[in-house]
Chain A
Amino acid sequence: MFSDTFPLKINTIVPLNIDTVRSDFPILSSEIHGKPLIYFDNAATTQKPQQVIDAISDYYLHHNSNVHRGVHKLSRQATISFEETRKKLAAFLNAAHDHEIIFTRGTTEAINLVAYTFGESTIREGDEVIVSSLEHHSNLVPWQQLCIRKNAHLRVIPIFDNGELDMEAYTAMLNERTRLVAVNHISNSLGTINPVKEITRMAHEHGAAVIIDGAQALSHGPVDVQDIDCDFYAFSAHKMYGPMGIGGLYGKESRLENMPPFHYGGEMIETVSFEKTVFNKLPYKFEAGTPNVADAIGFGAAVDYISRLGWEFIREQESKLLNYGTQQLSAIEGLKIIGTAPHKASIVSFLPANIHFYDAGMVIDQYSIAVRTGNHCTQPLMARLGIQGTIRASFSFYNTTAEIDKLVEAVLKVKELFA
């Protein structure tokens, strides 16, 4: 289901049991409204395994120290652990160099970093930037505003009604004025997996750079940035079982070298006088100020956790849940699945006939099921689909088909109440 963009790498060591895996996530055994929590809001943020929680608290309990400057042992240890995560991420994404990984607060900051550095220095009046109809506001607004500042044109790849990108329209859109293509790898609202490798190849043929919003992708399957050949890839730890407040940007060395800094301050400098500053080398040029060390270490633990489970287990679980969920929800009379592209991640958006998603969400919540209702930060996409919003159930490997049965029960109750 991930086609060429997600080549399967198998690194599972032991056969995994779902109960054991669930027990790694303390929150999954909690209760809401007196019933066991069913967490189907994984596209908003995933839950955190004990291993990640332990890594963060262990850092504060035993290793807290500022990185990169101290000669004392604590600082050296903190620096090693912090840089260890960068190495892990570079390997996880198959980046050519560790210094191609820049720590940011998350996907949004990573995209803004590119907009304010690469974008500001590259885009000129009359140039064109391409986004898709599927974009989250965070991969749309920075480009829209950049185009407004530069008097450039924002162009939008249309979609078919099933939520698939119209690649013919994209092909026709590319021209010698195209400077940048910004698309998500997986749509947060509909679950569509976009052909990012093909999108990148075509953009490069026209000399345009490509940034991929990978916020939804890294938890679902392997991503190889060299294979995709994208110029930038943005991601967040909290959507891949890691902590909130940390994420990153992968950027090709040649691109990053030629970009001006984003933020100025400590850490990103080599030498400073009152007259001038020589900036630090990569990746530090883009990491001004004291970084979020604890969460970077937690991020490393999350990458380790995913690697330990292995893609085979994760993909098998999630594809089972996607198929089962789609099947069971579709069987409900009058219910419409929003987003039925052939390649999808485990995200199911739906609407029961003539029932508002808010009414449905209120009732589903009473079943202690966490789903998301609304426009999912994709207002233009909802407008394109002619709806105000959807109910979105996004599954993770730790969910079960029994939990989906509960969701179906709740949706049937919704129908009974509001029909």
Chain B
Amino acid sequence: MTIKETIDQIVSEFGYFDDWMDKYNYLIEMGKSLPMIEEKYKVDSNLITGCQSRVWLHADLEDGRIFFTADSDAVITKGIVNLLIRVFSGHTPQEIVEAHTDFLDSIGLKEHLSPTRSNGLLSMMKQMKLYALAYKTKLESDAS
């Protein structure tokens, strides 16, 4: 599935929710299946700043594709991270760097995107793109 297809799927899933309770329950469920970060990567240098809750994010490159693992001390945050992981994990650095990320607007999580002290969603997304950019650069220099 392409990044675009996953995003469309998430947007359509969110379309079924009538109220915030459904949405939060969905995120809580999503949090439970989060690909957990290995304990050794749960270190301060992998902490994403700007979140009210602590979020650790790690990226591995396998066969030219990036796989993310993460954890958070807050349940809803886990769900949100997993949503992003579902979108980006398993794609090439190039695909992740070029992906459009405005889909969060249409699923009613827009307020989580505001770049304030309390909201780290933007920071998470930025961090994922930074990992992709770093791997993209690495792959290009390895190839040359």
Residues of A that sit less than 8 Å from B by CB = 33, 356-359, 361-363, 366, 373-374, 388-389, 417-418
Contact = CB atoms under 8 A, between A and B. Distances in A.
B118 A359 contact: no
Interface string B1-37: 0000000000000000000110011001000000000
B72 to A, nearest CB: 8
Interface of B: 20-21, 24-25, 28, 52-54, 73-77, 117-118
Contacts of A357: 52
A356 B73 contact: yes
B58 to A, nearest CB: 21
A374 B74 CA distance: 12
B22 to A, nearest CB: 12
B132 to A, nearest CB: 26
Contact of B75 (A33, A356, A366, A373): A356
3 nearest A-B residue pairs (beta carbon): A356-B74, A358-B74, A358-B53
B73 A363 contact: no
B20 A418 contact: no
Nearest to B112: A362
A260 B104 CA distance: 53
Interface residues of A: mostly helix, strand, loop or mixed? helix
A359 B118 CA distance: 12
28 contacts: A356-B53, A356-B73, A356-B74, A356-B77, A358-B52, A358-B53, A358-B76, A358-B77, A359-B74, A359-B75, A359-B76, A359-B77, A361-B52, A362-B76, A363-B24, A366-B20, A366-B21, A366-B24, A373-B52, A373-B118, A374-B52, A374-B117, A388-B54, A388-B73, A417-B24, A417-B28, A418-B28, A418-B75
A361 B28 CA distance: 14
B52 A417 contact: no
B75 to A, nearest CB: 5
A373 B116 CA distance: 14
Contact of A417 (B25, B54, B74, B117): B25
A289 B106 CA distance: 46
Which of A33, A361, A362, A417 has the largest number of chain B CB atoms within 10 A? A362
Nearest to A360: B74
A374 B118 contact: yes
Contacts of B20: 33, 366
A357 B76 CA distance: 11
